[in-house]
Amino acid sequence: MEILTEDSMSIDWGAVSGAASAAASIVAVASIVLAYKGVRISRDSSVLDRRNYLDGIFVRWLDAIDALDRAALPYVQHVPTQPELDSGGPDLPDAYPEFHLAFTHCRTATNLLESTGMFESPAQDDQPGEIATNDLIAIFRAILWAHYFSVVENSPAEIALFGENQKLAQPWRSAVDEVEARLADDVPDKYFPLFEEKISELYPVDLPLGVWQVSNRLLDFCRAEVADRYWRRVDSRFPWNRGS
């Protein structure tokens, strides 16, 4: 039988100290990992909150343009009377308040989209045949105004031709020139060839064209440009998939 002595019962304090140090190191590492994950989760949550906020503003802007298109229908489907032709504008007292309100909402939504800062600086990935990113909102706003007046005012050139074709339309070049004249103070001339290319894709140059059709085509084109640039920028800055 083994007899226990004082020496045999002594504790290896060096070994205990080493084990304690190792355990403390493990705990420290684990704490750092947990803290990092906590920061990462918090950061990812903040990014997703920002993305949700931006997407909400963008969807509101899209909805405002759709509402403007619907509100314009009574005007673009209206056959003017002679007194309306003489006065230079359609008399639609029930339709105007709705159209004007939709236009105001669209302006507000555009201002809010601009305030996100997503279109402030030039983009390195802008391509030929595109509106420069930092010009987009200003150009959209100018086209929006041109479209407003193209809808609520009869074109003098089209009024003159109305007796011949019973449509508010005129030669393609004349209609385009009329809209470009409205845009001249706010849109650089370098974009007019691009605009004319986009108009001719939908409306052949050898057919009559209404001024509101020109402005509406430009509004659709610029809307698509804004949407394309928005998705490019928001996906690069605030992507949904942040990784683990």
Domain boundaries, the chain: 45-237
Stretch 27-46: mean pLDDT, rounded?
A: 48
Reported as a pLDDT band with limits 50, 70 and 90, residue 243 is: very low
Stretch 144-167: mean pLDDT, rounded?
A: 93
Reported as a pLDDT band with limits 50, 70 and 90, residue 240 is: low
Among 46, 64, 34, which residue's Cα sits nearest to residue 147? 64
Give the model's pLDDT for residue 101. Answer: 98
Reported as a pLDDT band with limits 50, 70 and 90, residue 242 is: very low
Give the model's pLDDT for residue 146. Answer: 98
Please say if the pLDDT value at position 160 is more than 70. yes
- pTM surpassing 0.85? no
